Copies of this chain bind each other. A is one copy, B any other.
Amino acid sequence: MQEATIDAGANHEDPTYELYYWPTLQGRGEYVRLVLEQAGARYRGVARLPESEGGGLKAVVGAFRGGGLGVGVLPLAPPILRHGELVLAQVANVCLYLARRHGLAPADEGRQLEANQLQLTIADLVAEAHDTHHPIAKSKYFEDQVEAARRCAEGFRGARLPKFLGYFEHVLTANTASGGRHLVGARLSYVDLSMFQTLEGLAYAFPRAYARVEPTIPRLTALRARVAALPRIAAYLASPRRIPFNEDGIFRRYPELDDPAPAS
């Protein structure tokens, strides 16, 4: 969890990226972190810096509720990326910006729009996965909405999870330009990284339901393994910078929201 001082050899004339996000959970910030890591970009996790260097949780809150960073549109919520004079929020937006700059997005406009379309569809899946544990109100505790959560999660596992994953499996299969290895274009893109993170999260949160669906998604399963084995991603995952999944993030392991355990 020491993301404050990453420097993997990017262009040093470029301002260092600053990521404003919560320091104790993967959450939506993880989608941005994975692009930064695969890009080998120099970035600082502001929450982990000492307050004397403009860091700490107060700096994260200040980047939105505190009135913003003084340039650009005030973000509603983190993750927020600052890069020189540019301040950006919304995961799909931040990832597109970074991916364009670091060769992780397709070069031509049409394919870039396709990548964005897939990324927004991943965001829809992520939002539905999140809402299984907070169907009534994001601001209320899980314990105060557990019965609604049970019903919501049942529909998610039964219908939405296979639907979304079957869809992405189809997209991989249809992308013959990559031999079914990438979601868009012929090369690795930020969309593949986000798909990896989403599969990891779903497998963490719903281990039984995920194991049930997994045999139907061989190409996604292979993609997940390939991304995990990318040297920079593998190094990141093995480092203390990768915060373990926990029950504060998007993907939470609440056994009552997973498929029932098989009768023993």
Contact = CB atoms under 8 A, between A and B. Distances in A.
Contact of A113 (B88, B138, B151, B174): B88
A257 interface: no
Contact of A136 (B75, B135, B138): B135
A118 B73 contact: yes
A97 B120 CA distance: 14
B92 A120 contact: yes
A184 interface: yes
A69 to B, nearest CB: 12
Nearest to A140: B155
Nearest to A191: B73
**Residue of A97, A117, A152, A155 most packed against chain B (CB within 10 A):** A117
A98 to B, nearest CB: 11
B171 A74 contact: yes
B136 A152 contact: yes
A201 to B, nearest CB: 19
A48 to B, nearest CB: 24
A26 interface: no
Contacts of A86: 110, 113
A262 to B, nearest CB: 24
A42 to B, nearest CB: 20
B159 A139 contact: yes
Interface string A116-156: 11101100100100010001111110000100100110010
A76 interface: yes
Interface string A193-220: 0000000000000000000000000000
30 contacts: A72-B110, A72-B114, A73-B114, A73-B118, A73-B171, A73-B175, A73-B184, A74-B170, A76-B121, A76-B164, A76-B167, A85-B110, A86-B113, A88-B113, A88-B114, A88-B117, A90-B117, A92-B92, A93-B117, A96-B113, A131-B135, A135-B136, A135-B152, A136-B148, A136-B151, A136-B152, A136-B155, A137-B151, A138-B160, A148-B148
